[in-house]
Amino acid sequence: MTQSEPLSRPVPVADDASAAYWAGAREHRLVIMRCRDCARYVHPPRAVCPRCQRETLVGEEVSGRGTVYSYHVMHLPGVPGFTPPYAVAVVELAEQAGLFAVGNVLDCPPEELTTGMAVRVTFEELAGSDMTLPQWSREQA
């Protein structure tokens, strides 16, 4: 793909709150915001901690391990660059109950995906951009 060709998939846009998340992804690290005052992890990234209402969130690298909390298999086309069927998973991260991230489980056919499945972060480079997406793969026992 050349720079003049359009991207085949949507590309996320980083903002001030998500800059640490996307910078970490480019380095193949999963970086989640954490409040310096109450130690709560916060995702998706934002400027204010929802627990203590302080603006003391900083990016912190996490283990990248979690379990599939929920998922949905997309059967109809609609999102450019994604060919159905594919699954979008909600992953509960190991660091904190209720800390969720969303992505695709890249190495698992949708019919094999289950809730409670152990997963780990993996990173997908988006061709034609400088964006790297945190995605998921099955955790090997």
pLDDT at res. 100: 98
Last residue of a domain, one of 47, 62, 77: 62
pLDDT at res. 95: 98
In a domain? residue 4: no
In this structure, are 40 and 73 located in the same domain?
no
HSE-up (13 A, CA, CB side) for residue 83: 2
Enclosing domain of residue 93: 63-141
pLDDT at res. 82: 87
In this structure, are 44 and 98 located in the same domain?
no
Residue 96, burial from CB neighbour count under 10 angstroms (0-12, 13-18, 19+): middle
In the predicted model, residues of the chain with pLDDT beneath 50 are 1-6
Which residue type, as a one-letter code, is found at position 64? G
Question: Pick from 102, 34, 38: which is nearest to 62 by CA?
Answer: 34
In a domain? residue 101: yes
Tracing tokens 């709560």 back to the chain, one arrives at: 40
Question: Pick from 17, 18, 24: which is nearest to 47 by CA?
Answer: 17
- The overall average pLDDT reported for the chain is 92
Q: Per the structure, how many domains does the chain have? A: 2
In this structure, are 41 and 89 located in the same domain?
no
pLDDT at res. 71: 98
Provide the whole-model pTM.
Answer: 0.90
